[in-house]
Amino acid sequence: MSIRPRQLSRMGTFYLQEAVLDILYEHYPEGYGVGAADISKRAGIYRDRGPSDIMNDAIVTGVLNSLHEEGKVERIEQEGGRGGWRLTESQYNRRRDDV
């Protein structure tokens, strides 16, 4: 029995999380949240199946929920009053120190 699929899944999850965290890191100083659709577009994984399709940004939404459970991101208002996401202060400081 091969463990390769599991290893590939873990690697894929890691890279998706890092992409999302990097995008949120870039926007942290601006003080507002970034929406899942915008993150998906910036990461190049937005699925444009029409504006009413809630699955357009499903991958990033799942990643954001996972990161939220880990305490790395938080919900915050976007410019214009819509809900968005941003790094927690501790995650921002940790990533800033790594640069």
Q: Residue ranges per domain, the chain?
A: 4-98
Mean pLDDT of 9-14: 94
In 25-81, the DSSP E strands lie at 73-77
Q: Quick one: tokens of 61?
A: 């939404």
The DSSP code for 87 is E
Give the three-state DSSP class for 85.
Answer: strand
Query: pTM for this one?
Result: 0.85
Residues 50-94: tens digit of each pLDDT = 666 667 788 999 999 999 999 999 998 777 777 899 999 999 999
Cα radius of gyration (the chain): 14
d(CA 57, CA 22): 17
> The CATH number of 4-98 is which of 1.10.287.70, 1.10.357.10, 2.40.50.140, 1.10.10.10?
1.10.10.10
